[in-house]
Amino acid sequence: MTSSNIILVLSILGLCCFCNCLGQTVGVGNSLSSLSFDYGLNLIYLIQNSTIKRQIQEAVSETCSLQIDWFFENLNNVTDDGMWAFKMLDSSAKVPAGLLKLNLGGWMGDFDQCLEISSERRQIKGKYCLGTLYINIDEASGAVSEILLRKVNLFAQKKYSFQDQYPVASYPSFGICVPNGCNEQDLQHIVASFNLTFPLPFECQTFDDANPPLTTKAWCVIGFFVVIIGLMVGSTAYDLHCRKSYKVKQLSGQLDDKIMRVASEPQHAILVAFSVYSNGKKLFKTQRNASELACLNGIRVLSMVWVLAGHSVSVTVSGPVSNALDVLEYLDSTKSMIFVSAVHSVDTFLMVTGLLVVYSHMKAQENGTKFKLLVFYFHRYLRLTPPFLAAILVSMALLQYMGSGPHWSFIVNYFQVFCEKSWWSALLYFQNYINVNQWVSKACFRR
């Protein structure tokens, strides 16, 4: 059986023995219930000497079937070609503790160890495959499995306002390490050979998949940021040079009209626009203006802390957790109120923005300045769009290179696909009319 089968069978059997799904199908009787957790070797040897191996090899591709034989060969003689087969077993998921607590995060296996596996003699490398169990509660058999599956469905169907914003690992996922010659279709054929009645999709990654080369799009975005960094360096150098020259001539009493005129020219303002020094001084300035509404600073800080706390909890809960039932109980309790309601913290910024717009308009009227609506929108667009554009470019082209892991591809696809489809409407702030269900940038523009 293909290593893929081996490990797949190991993981599937380990999982499903609690659901009483495979005992009768595999035909190994009660021996499964007595398996220890010594990397599933007992199960592997059992499969090797049964008809299951031949059944699985007939269901998979020729390459996968050949690598299954190599897998067993290496497993029986680890000194011949390293321990790559044993490492595949070791890096695959095992049945964890805390099943009745809905331990959905203990089935991941070792992603990095799997991708680092390679054979010295064979053209075999490790491939990490993540399977997700979508089990129908009506098909559960046995009291324990029924209770367990009801808890899984409860967690999967429980919806909170923040969960719709992230890919949520609601159903049990498990990672298995297989030879690179086996693919998702082979795994599906293996699953089908066991007559499993619930969907079991797989997402597989090799080392090259987890570490892809830079694309043309990525190089273009990197080039864009290099140009911006170059402008910052050049502008900062020019700014510091002008300040030093001004200070030297001021101390020597050699200030003249030419120097003052240069400092007031529009070209000078443009050349120092990207200066880290000047912009940094403005950003970290603590001096208060007489017309400033100081109380708003405290409201902003508290709201920002609220936003960060809410996002931290929501991102954590959206991933695979080892105590899903505790998470459910906590989110249903009053103790989690501040985190569950963090989505409303954005309303504070909308209120503050509206207040400041009205305040600025009234101050301008007092000073005899006419409020120009087009100028107001143009100024706001120029303020918000550059950092927003940078975030879109990073999400579209660079996000996939910033991490790796079992669920990383899901996260990248979630954000990258949306940005690739909607970047133009995002930059034009048309979300009020297009993709209205994805409203984050709309709120940003109102701030």
Sequence-separated contacts (24+) of 80-83 with Cβ below 8 Å: 80/121, 81/119, 81/120, 81/121, 81/122, 82/119, 82/120
Task: Note whether 187 and 131 are within 8 A (CB).
Answer: yes
C-alpha dihedral, 185 to 188 to 190 to 191, nearest 10°: 180
- Choice between 232 and 443, residue whose per-residue pLDDT is larger: 232
pLDDT of residue 28: 36
Handedness of CA 357, 362, 363, 368 (dihedral sign): positive
- Residue range 160-204, pLDDT digits in tens: 433 444 444 456 788 999 999 998 888 888 877 776 666 678 889
Dig out the tokens for 283 from the structure.
């950003």
126-132/173-179 β-pairing:
antiparallel
- The percentage of residues in the chain with a pLDDT greater than 90, rounded to a whole number, is 17
Least confident piece of the model among 54-68, 127-141, 160-174, 358-372? 160-174
Range of lowest pLDDT (150-154, 230-234, 405-409): 150-154
Length of the chain (residues): 447
Q: Indicate the average pLDDT of the chain.
A: 75
Taking residues 234-242, what's their average pLDDT? 91
Per-residue pLDDT tens over the stretch 243-297:
887 776 666 666 565 555 656 677 778 888 899 999 999 888 888 777 778 888 8
pLDDT category at 10 given cuts 50, 70, 90 is very low
DSSP structure string for 329-348: HHHTSGGGHHHHGGGGHHHH
The confidence band for 226, taking pLDDT boundaries of 50, 70 and 90, is: very high
Indicate the burial class of 258 (C-beta count within 10 angstroms; 0-12, 13-18, 19 or more): exposed
Angle between helices 295-318 and 345-366 (to 10 degrees): 150
Tens of pLDDT, residues 17-47: 333 333 333 333 333 333 334 545 555 665 6
pLDDT in tens, 387-403: 999 999 999 999 989 98
**Residue pair 109/325 in contact by the 8 Å Cβ criterion:** no
Q: Which residues pair with 207 in a beta bridge?
A: none
- Ordered alpha helix ranges (H), 176-294: 184-193, 207-210, 216-251, 257-264, 266-271, 276-283
| Residue 125 DSSP code | B
The pTM score is 0.73
Ramachandran angles phi, psi of 176, nearest 5° = -130, 150
Q: What is the pLDDT of residues 339-352, one digit of tens each?
A: 888 888 888 888 89
Cα 359 from Cα 79, distance rounded (Å): 78
> Residue 91 is which amino acid?
S
Mean pLDDT computed over 47-51: 64
Residue 222 confidence (pLDDT) above 90: yes
Q: What is the pLDDT of residue 349?
A: 87
Question: What's the pLDDT score for residue 438?
Answer: 58
In this prediction, residue 436 carries a pLDDT of 64
